[in-house]
Structure 1
């Protein structure tokens, strides 16, 4: 429910801005002022990221999310009862702040309470929830006034708050605070009491007992900055998040109406096409949830990144040929088909995977800090892409903007091919061990295990 609210925050401006522009004659809002309606939420993401890591370590994952939901309800209520555009901007800032707060917190919580077999499915479910939130905000804005739509969006964090009130705290966090009895009770509630689960619980408690509890971000950063299990996944995730934003996926959410109008050549059926693309995004993410269990993270990232870059480059070339009159008429079937293909393939991997993996790749003692830094990078990139998109559309055209996004995604996919590890089916401790040990040592250990197995099967 909180992720649905995050999606509604990202998609709300697509219907809010046209309604405000329609009222310009009455209220006389400047174009620059209205443009900040879309960018304000993404600007606030950074500040939410800054406190997220601290609060999730200080208060716990569950309590931090309950507090977050209260702020989220306040933000949506502020927008609903705003008497002028300044209160709308204030409400957008609060909801964007909460979206940034949730960024590292949600994946960390889900990653800690789910088993390796289902962790990928549940983490991908966060991205699906965001897509559903985008769709619902567009649906609300299509049929009701933005103030009423805001109140409806505020129901998401309200329901989330109620659910979290009755849910236990993360067992990993309880163990890190030496609350062993509560940790065991929580672990059993979330994961059951099978032998495999009991073994994982024992390993987690033993591993955490060996580590010293750090007191603050600076001390944690100083103690872990040279550890490969800290800086290796941190660098990978920071770049992965930037790649996702440079693919333009959130620009589509924020300026859906303008983009669809450009691709269709007229305003007719824009709302229907917008809702259709939202449904397509949700379907693609449902498929991604299934594929993540069967295929894994790394192959899906490379597959999705390659097709995303190809679709954007082809769309850019097509729009350029139309602009230069090498193609006589803009065909909505071709342009919308390419856009639909882009939305589908990008949401199969590039869009959900960073949020999926940020809850997996970091060690428990640095998870709050490292996930906060990682998501902070996507917040900066989010703001940059959303705020500069209108200027890019105007200066280099839609075709030039799509070409830039396509080439950026292509370069990012090449990076992921060489650097992104596979985490499917591995426990959090196994993933941490992967980054801790050098590649040569991992290969040597694997070879020794293979030789041992061979000796066991050789008859005397």
Structure 2
């Protein structure tokens, strides 16, 4: 261990010597603050485009199911409620398996390499849907695209979180949620304007473009440090972050943290030791509840069954054109809300936005439930599209201000380096189970307890989740990944010792 520390110390001295020798040569590159930002943005853009494919996967069933039900299928297979739910839920079911391998692959092969690897089966899944001539090929394609969606879930957030500087991280991570919303909109737009087969082939362009962009950037420096590839780590970190004094200090911390690990232990013993640490199980509990909360708000149910839900909310005024227009309007509103959320999260922080969003979403769902209940019981004679669509618009706005994007932002921030793959993978696997459960059960809930009962269930679930976040969710805005890790590691001490009033949590 002492020998390992000497090696690390030598490497740190080499970093400073190399930096001093090269400062004059590369000053115009590294001290230009735009250059690191552009490189971080390029890395984030590749993941963003891949996440557009995630949104397309989530939203595609909303245009696929109506076309299959109304004779534009050419599959000679009638859709009943059970098969309809499987067409929508096949992708969400496969998410679980993608999550299971995501953590292992990102730790084994790296964040960048894993993103490139998943692009190929993702494209294949869309191609299978596009050329399908029976319902079972459609289900196979949906399963493959869902598998890749689950694979990317924890991976994208971890990669973007590790290559981004603290000041840019919130915007880039919020951009991943915006990309999902944009992907939903594009899949709905493709499916509205053309046959579902052609729409599927166009959706396959997202993983292709994302793969090309990711190929053009470097591997995560944090992952390289975890593999003792110190020279590669230095090169990658400077490529992404520059060589300012602040960046040098952060690089020193990354390499020093790696030097403290006991390399003599087996991987199994190291894993068992790490999962007992508070910097693993505390963020794990927070992320599990946060991800389940997101699913129980019903946001993905709306993505999957938008057309059918719009008919219920519009009432007698509903027809195919008005339902499609309402669906696309909801998608555009979702994208606009997430753009605003990117800036609000950077300015106000994670915790305030999470609590505001959770409370507002809860109240809106309960109000929508109450309104539909009054209509169904003829207290109100006719449903008013203005009232119902206004409530759903408010719901879309406030949910996308916090409870929708934040779990995907924070899963790449909260876990320690050595357990980031495991923690993020397990957290996202939990949301995948909840995602599958909500998508699969939604049609049965609509039939058994009605739309008003379903929205009430989602509203009360959101309320319980928000109460948990009030007591447990920390603020991470402006903190480095090392500082966030230290917060969980030292939180037991801060319960008994006064905390300095310096703005940190």
Asked if TM exceeds 0.5, the reply is yes
Alignment partner of 1:55 out of 100, 105, 108: 105
Alignment partner of 1:27 out of 56, 59, 76: 76
Alignment partner of 1:319 out of 331, 347, 372: 372
Structure 2 counterparts to residues 7-22 of structure 1, below 5 A: 7-22=55-70
Shift of 1:34: 2.8
Please say if 1:375 is aligned against 2:425: no
Question: Contact between 2:157 and 2:408, CA under 8 Å: does it hold in 1?
Answer: yes
Please say if 1:67 is aligned against 2:120: no
Structure 2 counterparts to residues 189-268 of structure 1, below 5 A: 189-212=239-262, 218-265=268-315, 266-267=318-319, 268=321
Shift of 1:329: 1.1
Per-residue deviation, residues 317-339 of structure 1 (Å, max 9, x unmatched): 00000000101110000000000
Per-residue deviation, residues 295-346 of structure 1 (Å, max 9, x unmatched): 0001100000000000000000000000001011100000000001001100
Alignment partner of 2:395 out of 316, 339, 342: 342
Closer, same or farther in 2 for the Cα pair 1:211/1:25, shift >3 Å?
closer
Equivalent residue for 1:164? Answer: 214
Please say if 1:132 is aligned against 2:185: no
Stretch of structure 1 that moved more, 218-227 or 180-189: 218-227
Please say if 1:120 is aligned against 2:173: no
Closer, same or farther in 2 for the Cα pair 1:402/1:215, shift >3 Å?
farther
Q: Flag structure 2 segments of 5+ consecutive residues without an equivalent.
A: 1-48
Shift of 1:446: 3.1
Equivalent residue for 1:79? Answer: 129
Paired residue secondary structure (2:273): helix
Question: Contact between 1:54 and 1:217, CA under 8 Å: does it hold in 2?
Answer: no
Question: Contact between 2:115 and 2:214, CA under 8 Å: does it hold in 1?
Answer: yes
**1:214 & 1:135 partners in 2: Cα distance?**
51
Question: Contact between 1:313 and 1:406, CA under 8 Å: does it hold in 2?
Answer: yes
RMSD, aligned α-carbons: 1.6
Equivalent residue for 1:305? Answer: 358
Closer, same or farther in 2 for the Cα pair 1:433/1:74, shift >3 Å?
same
**1:84 & 1:213 partners in 2: Cα distance?**
53
Question: Contact between 1:5 and 1:156, CA under 8 Å: does it hold in 2?
Answer: yes
Question: Contact between 1:20 and 1:34, CA under 8 Å: does it hold in 2?
Answer: no
Per-residue deviation, residues 82-113 of structure 1 (Å, max 9, x unmatched): 11110000000000000000011000000000
**2:312 & 2:264 partners in 1: Cα distance?**
53
Alignment partner of 1:392 out of 424, 442, 445: 445
Question: Contact between 2:275 and 2:419, CA under 8 Å: does it hold in 1?
Answer: no
TM-score, structure 2 normalization: 0.87
Shift of 1:29: 2.0
Question: Contact between 1:171 and 1:183, CA under 8 Å: does it hold in 2?
Answer: yes
**2:301 & 2:56 partners in 1: Cα distance?**
14
Stretch of structure 1 that moved more, 25-34 or 135-144: 25-34
Q: Flag structure 1 segments of 5+ consecutive residues without an equivalent.
A: 451-460
Equivalent residue for 1:454? Answer: none
**2:417 & 2:68 partners in 1: Cα distance?**
45
How many residues are aligned here? 449
Stretch of structure 1 that moved more, 171-180 or 263-272: 263-272
Question: Contact between 1:217 and 1:369, CA under 8 Å: does it hold in 2?
Answer: no
Equivalent residue for 1:457? Answer: none
Per-residue deviation, residues 351-395 of structure 1 (Å, max 9, x unmatched): 000000000000000000010110010000000000000000000
**2:70 & 2:312 partners in 1: Cα distance?**
19
Paired residue secondary structure (2:476): coil
Shift of 1:27: 1.1
Question: Contact between 2:174 and 2:341, CA under 8 Å: does it hold in 1?
Answer: yes
**1:214 & 1:12 partners in 2: Cα distance?**
49
Per-residue deviation, residues 205-247 of structure 1 (Å, max 9, x unmatched): 1111112359987545411222111100001100110010001
**1:324 & 1:439 partners in 2: Cα distance?**
53
**2:172 & 2:495 partners in 1: Cα distance?**
29
